[in-house]
Amino acid sequence: MPALRLNFEQRIGMTKAPTRIQKRNRAAILSAGLDVFSQFGFRGTTLDQIADAAGLSKPNLLYYFPSKEAIHTALLERLLETWLDPLKSLDADGDPVKEIMAYAQRKLAMSRDYPRESRLFANEILQGAPRIEEILRTDLKTLVDEKAAVIKTWAEAGKIADIDPHHLIFSIWAFTQHYADFDVQVRAVLGDKAPYDGASVFLDMLYAKLLRP
Summarize pLDDT for 154-199 with one digit per residue, the tens: 999 999 999 999 999 999 999 999 999 999 999 999 999 999 999 9
Give residue-wise pLDDT tens across range 36-64.
Answer: 999 998 999 999 999 999 999 999 999 99
CATH at 38: 1.10.10.60
SS3 of 26, please? helix
The total of structural domains in the chain comes to: 2
Dihedrals phi, psi of 90, to nearest 5 degrees? -65, 120
CATH at 90: 1.10.357.10
**Which of 33, 61, 77 is the C-terminal boundary of a domain?**
77
pLDDT over 60 at 2, yes or no:
no
pTM to 2 decimals? 0.82
Residues 62 and 98 in one domain: no
For 94-119, what is the mean pLDDT?
Answer: 96
Residue 204's domain spans which residues?
A: 84-211
Residues 105 and 143 in one domain: yes
Residues 60 and 117 in one domain: no
Give residue-wise pLDDT tens across range 71-98.
Answer: 998 998 888 878 889 999 999 999 999 9
Q: What pLDDT does 205 receive?
A: 96
Residues 27 and 125 in one domain: no
Which of 193, 89, 73 lies closest to 150, judged by CA?
89
CA 44 to chain centre: 20
Give residue-wise pLDDT tens across range 6-32.
Answer: 444 444 444 567 799 899 999 999 999
Residues 67 and 6 in one domain: yes
**CA–CA gap between residue 16 and residue 9 (Å, rounded):** 8
Residues 89 and 32 in one domain: no
**Which of 77, 107, 122 is the C-terminal boundary of a domain?**
77
Task: Work out the percent of the chain whose per-residue pLDDT is above 90.
Answer: 77
